[in-house]
Amino acid sequence: MANLSARLALVSALSLGMLALASGCATSSPSAGRDGSQATASGVRQAFDPMFDGAWAGDAICYGPHRDGQGPGTPDQPTAENIAEDARIMAKSWRFVRMYGVGDATEHFLQAIEREKLPLKLFMGVWIAPEAEFDKDGKLVRVLDENIRLNNEQVAGAIRLANKYPKHIAAIGVGNETQVFWSTYRTASDVLIKHIRAVKAGVPHPVTTCDSYEFWLTPESVTIAKELDFAAVHIYAMWNKQQLEDAIVWSRTKLAEVQAKHPNMQFVITELGWATDRGMNGYQAEGIVGKWGEGPQETFFRTWRDYARTHKIPYFWFQAFDEKWKGGTEPNEVEKHWGVYFSNRKPKQVMQHELPRDASTKH
- In one-letter notation, the amino acid at residue 218 is T
- Taking 80 as the threshold, does the pLDDT of residue 255 lie above it? yes
Distance CA 183, CA 212 (A): 10
Alpha helices in the chain (DSSP H): 2-23, 80-91, 104-116, 145-164, 189-202, 213-216, 221-225, 244-261, 284-287, 294-311, 349-352
Per DSSP, the chain holds a count of helices (H) and strands (E) of: 11, 14
pLDDT tens string 257-310: 999 999 999 999 999 999 999 999 999 999 999 999 999 999 999 999 999 999
* Tens digit of each residue's pLDDT (9 = 90 or more) over 116-149: 999 999 999 999 999 999 998 889 999 999 999 9
Confidence band (pLDDT; 50, 70, 90) for 354? Answer: confident
Instruction: Decide if 132 contacts 143 (C-beta within 8 A).
Output: yes
**pLDDT digits 0-9 by tens, 66-89:** 999 999 999 999 999 999 999 999
Give the domains, in start order, of the chain with CATH numbers.
2-28+43-359 (3.20.20.80)
Q: What predicted TM-score, i.e. pTM, was given to this entire model? A: 0.88
How many Å apart are CA 178 and CA 187, to the nearest integer? 5
**If you average pLDDT over residues 329-349, what whole number do you get?**
97
Q: Which amino acid is at 260?
A: A
pLDDT on residue 359: 53
Mean pLDDT, rounded, for 45-57? 97
